[in-house]
Structure formats: C-alpha cells, structure tokens
Structure 1
Amino acid sequence: MKDKLFCNNCKGLRNQNEVHKVEERGGDEEGDFQWYKSYSIIKCAGCDSISFHQVYGDTEMFEQTGPYGEHDYYYDESVYPPYLKRGEAIQQLFYLPEKIRTIYAETIASFKSNSSILTAGGLRAIIEAICNNLKIKGNNLAERIDGLSKNGHLTLAESKRLHTIRFLGNDALHEIEKPKDEHLYLLLEIVNHLLSNLFVNDKKMKGKVETMIDTYDDFIRLIQNRIDNDMVGKKMTISNILDKSKRLLTKKNLTEFENSFVKDINSKKITFVKVENKKPDNIYEIIERPLLFQFGIK
C-alpha cells in the first residue's frame, strides 16, 4: 500500500501491509453512475497490529480543479476500529461512576465516528453528570459549574475552562453549529484531566501509597489493617493503634471518627476491641485481630 494509514496501537500514521483485499464495482444500467468499494485486512509494518480498511468512491465524488470543468475524483476511506486522531480517552473507565462512564463512552464513540455536534453535546452532558454525582445544585449549568469551584472540587481556573465546554455544547445543540476538531480535542483534554482528578487518580493510588482518610469506612479499614497479632490482649490509645498513620487524618476527622468508633463498640457492632472511656484518651483493649474479609462467615 502506498499511503500510510492510522495504527491504533502506534497512535499515528504508519505504513501498512495488505493481508487480504476484496473489491466490488457496480453502477446503473445506463452507466452514468458507477461506484467502487474495497475491503482490506491490513497489518501495521511497525507493530504488526491488525486493522480493517474500507474504501468507497463513485462518479459523483469529484472536485472541480480548473476553469474548463476539469475535476479530480476522491475516495472516502475508513479504518476500523475507529480511533481518535489526537490524544487518548481515559482507559480506566471502571473507576468512573456508572452514569458518567456511560456518557463518556458514548461521547468518545461519537468523536471517533466524526460526529462533531454529538461530541460537543456529550462533553457538555459529562459536566452535567459530574454536577449530579457531586450533588451540585443550581438553576442552570453555569451556576452549577461555579458551584464546583465554590465547593472545592476544582479551581477557579478549571471552572472557567468548563464554561468553554458549556458554550461549545450550547452552540452545537441549540444552534446546530459544528465545532472544529481542534477545539473538541482541546476540550476532551480538559474533561479527561477533570475526571482523572475527581474520580480516577485517588482510586489508582489507593492501596499503593498513603492517602488522606476522609470517610468513616476508610477509618475503620485503616484500624483493621493496623491491628496485628502482637497487639491482641494489649490496651492502647487510638494514637498507639494508628501510629504514623495518624497523619492521614485531620484533627477534626479523627475526633468525629473516634466518637463513631466508640458508639459502634458500645452497641456491639464492632467486637474486636473493648473501650474504657478515660480522659484525656480512650483506652482500647484489643480482643482479637479483626477479619478483613468475612464472606460466608457468621
């Protein structure tokens, strides 16, 4: 093959070797209209990835190139699976909340199929879905985007970028105005960055590096992970149990979570420790090492 075609694995135009090709030709009975199709299995000359290449052309597909009616014929070409010409989609979609994941996947599919108006609308819908997930209220999307920064989910600069997506989506959906690809790729980059910061990065880091504890469930899991066999039978303060991991909690969260911890112990919801209410610190007697996974255990 003479022309380079896009390789999904290499992420760029590459020389391709044609593995197999089927051609079809046809037209009307008079011969005034004729068409041509070809279907090829191709293999990247660089990485050996397999793709499918389709070509279509007919006698109506030409551009006038001279003052006397001269014209050049052109063909429509498609490579499957479809691809983004620039940038990349988020790979860890399973980290995204379900509704955001669904809208994002459909938006990327529209972008790969060159459906620019639907892509712009999809990017706008992703912002709406983020606001819904984070329970950001407002009379319209503009107010909700401002609410994202006011509630500390993103910076003021990031909020301004989201307004750009809102403008583009509104123009596409209300004015049926086709956006430029270069603008869509730029806005996809912004959306990817936002989704990664809000939903992906923390989950990727969890269990690999220490991260701040900001929920009671995570606090309990931290305590369960901290208690080992050597602690069983000993009496310890919460600071003794947590040791260096105490730095993962703000003073406010530590106080609130410990109060809830004591209530759960007294109500027998938590049984691996007993508590003695003393000042300035509660004393916890470690009864047993907690089971981290209790599937099928009663």
Structure 2
Amino acid sequence: MSDVTKEFELQTDKLLAHNYPCRKCGLETKHQTVSRYTERGAQYYGGHHIDWAESNEIIQCLGCEEVSFRKCSTNSESLDYNYKTGQPYYVETVAFYPGRALGSKVIDHWLLPWSIGEVYKEARTAIENELFIIGGIAIRSLLESICSDVEAKGRNLAKKIDDLHARSLVTKEGVETLHKIRLLGNLSAHAAKRHTKDQLMLALEVVEHILIGTYIIPARAKDTFKGLDEVKKLLAPDDQ
C-alpha cells in the first residue's frame, strides 16, 4: 500500500501580476493574483515516488477588473526539457474558470429573444470550456433557432438557410459559410466529430453577425432614436 503526504499553503501577500487571457476584454491582459492556495503532495510506493503541485488562484484583470479563477497543476511525471537552455521543467496544465477564448467578446445576448439568447449562451460556454462536440451541436441549434424565429421557409435547415439569402438577411457568401456551419453541426451531432476551438469560434462569430444585424442593432436603434418618430410626425412632408 502506498503512502501519501500532503501540505497546503495560502498566499495573499507579495503576489506578482501576470498576463492571462481575459474573458471580458477578449484578449490577454495583465492580471493581479489576489490569493493562491497551493497543494503539494507526494505518493510513495515500491521505492519510487510521484510529486505533484496544484495552485488555485483568484485573479483579477487590471483593465476591466473582472474577477475569475485559475488552476495550475504540475507533476513529476510530466518533465520536459528546454533544448535552448538544456534545463528541465515541469509541464503546466492550466485551466481558467469561467472558460475564455481570445479575440472574441460576448455579444449583448440580453437583447436577443429569450430562447435564442439561452442557446447562444450555452453554445459559447461549451466552446470556452472546450466541450467541442457539444459546442458544434449547440451552434447548429442556434442557427435553427434563428431560422424558426424569422420564419425561414424550407423542409430542412439547408433550405431554410437558402431562404435567409432570398430574404436578404445574409449575403451569398454568408449562405455558403452557414452551410459549412450546418455540416459542422451535423458531424458533431451524428458522428460525434470533435472540431477545433478555432473552427467553432469562427462558426460562432459568423452566427453572431446575424444575431447582431437581425436583433441587437434594431433593438439599440429603437431605443437610441425613440424620440425621432415623434419629431417626424411634426415635420412637414417636404422637411422629412
């Protein structure tokens, strides 16, 4: 039977700032480590032992001030070498909570119809947390939800996407991209195909453009220019 030893350390003082991806900013920014709770352990068996360390950190972006969580793990079995310096180092396994994706910001989903907003949030959360099969299925569901909401015509999703172009909701080039997204979703749903994070984020970005143009900008315009309709009624026809 192996023996296991553990020790724990809490740090809150003299912690340095580091560059980490920020979910809210959509890019890598400097983060202050607010606190760090580290577990260090070793397991002994048969004259051998394995060492590990796991740091759990509360971090805060020094730009937008968003607070999040970072976990960093290493172990003695994941040893690699830097061939430039010739020095060994432990390979780090890092995870952020909530998940995040560089180069992409969350759109104003509260301006979307409720059901579409819920599917959008789940699709994005799946991709950010690297649940790539679920993310592919969710993006296809999001596309279907949009088609249903705008009452696109067709007996299947392919025909409904073509109808979006016929109604000038998307360009010809946009339709071609949407068909690729449809196929991507089909592979995830029917063949358990795991797409890359870059593929899924690009697919989501394309759908986000539809959401912004169809729902978010009209909602903002209605609120921003709400007084102009009353002014228009007071103007003479030649002044409108």
Residues 1:130 and 2:146 are matched in the alignment: yes
Q: Deviations over 1:98-148 (max 9, x none)?
A: 211111010011111012222222111111001111222322211111122
Structure 2 residue 181 is matched with structure 1 residue 181: no
* Structure 1 match to 2:73: 56
Whole-Å Cα distance in 2 between the matches of residues 54 and 183 of structure 1?
A: 26
Tell which structure's C-alpha radius of gyration is larger: 1
Contact 2:18/2:32 (<8 A) preserved: no
Q: Deviations over 1:204-233 (max 9, x none)?
A: 101433799xxxxxxxxx6xx57xxxxxxx
Question: d(CA) in 2 for partners of 1:96 and 1:47?
Answer: 24
Q: Please list every run of 5 or more consecutive structure 1 residues that lacks an aligned counterpart in the other structure.
A: 213-221, 227-240, 248-298
Q: Give distance in 1, aligned partners of 2:201 and 2:236.
A: 41
Aligned position for 2:164: 148
Identity %: 25
CA contact (8 A) 1:205 1:211 kept: no
* 8 Å Cα contact 1:103/1:122 also seen in 2: yes
From 115, 122, 141, the equivalent of 1:106 is 122
Asked if 2 retains the 8 angstrom alpha-carbon contact of 1:89 and 1:192, the reply is: no
Matches within 5 A, 1:249-264: none
Higher fraction of strand:
2
Where structure 2 has 5 or more consecutive residues not aligned to the other structure, the ranges are 1-15
Matched residue count: 218
Match of 2:28 among 13, 33, 48: 13
Query: How many Å apart are 1:47 and its aligned residue?
Result: 5.7
Write the distance in 2 (CA, Å) between the matches of 1:170 and 1:245: 55
Once superposed, what is the RMSD of the aligned Cα atoms?
Answer: 3.3
Answer yes or no: is the 8 Å Cα contact 2:122–2:138 preserved in 1. yes
Residue type at the aligned position of 1:55: C
Question: Aligned equivalents of 2:159 and 2:79: distance in 1?
Answer: 49
Any idea what the Cα deviations from partners look like across 1:253-284, whole Å, max 9, x if unmatched?
xxxxxxxxxxxxxxxxxxxxxxxxxxxxxxxx
The answer for the alignment partner of 2:38 in structure 1 is 23
| CA distance in 2: counterparts of 1:194 and 1:136, whole angstroms | 14
Is 1:80 paired with 2:97? yes
Contact persistence 2:17–2:32 (CA under 8 A): no
1:184-215 per-residue CA deviation (whole Å, 9 max, x = no partner) reads: 22222211110111111111101433799xxx
* Paired residue secondary structure (2:59): strand
Aligned residue number for residue 167 of structure 1: 183
- Distance in 1 (alpha carbons) for counterparts of 2:54 and 2:78: 13
Residue 112 of structure 2, aligned match among 96, 111, 117:
96
Equivalence map 1:271-282=2 (5 Å): none
Tell me, in whole angstroms, the C-alpha distance in 2 between the residues paired with 1:5 and 1:61. Answer: 22
Deviation digits for residues 222-247 of structure 1 (CA, Å, limit 9, x no counterpart): 6xx57xxxxxxxxxxxxxx9454979
Q: Give 1:173 deviation, angstroms.
A: 2.5
Contact map agreement 2:28 2:102 (CA 8 A) in 1: no
CA pair 60-142 structure 1, distance change in 2 beyond 3 A: farther
- Give, in angstroms, the shift of residue 150 of structure 1: 2.1
Q: Partner residue of 1:279?
A: none
Secondary structure in structure 1 of the residue aligned to 2:163: helix
Q: CA deviation at 1:71?
A: 7.8
- The alignment partner of 1:206 has SS state of helix
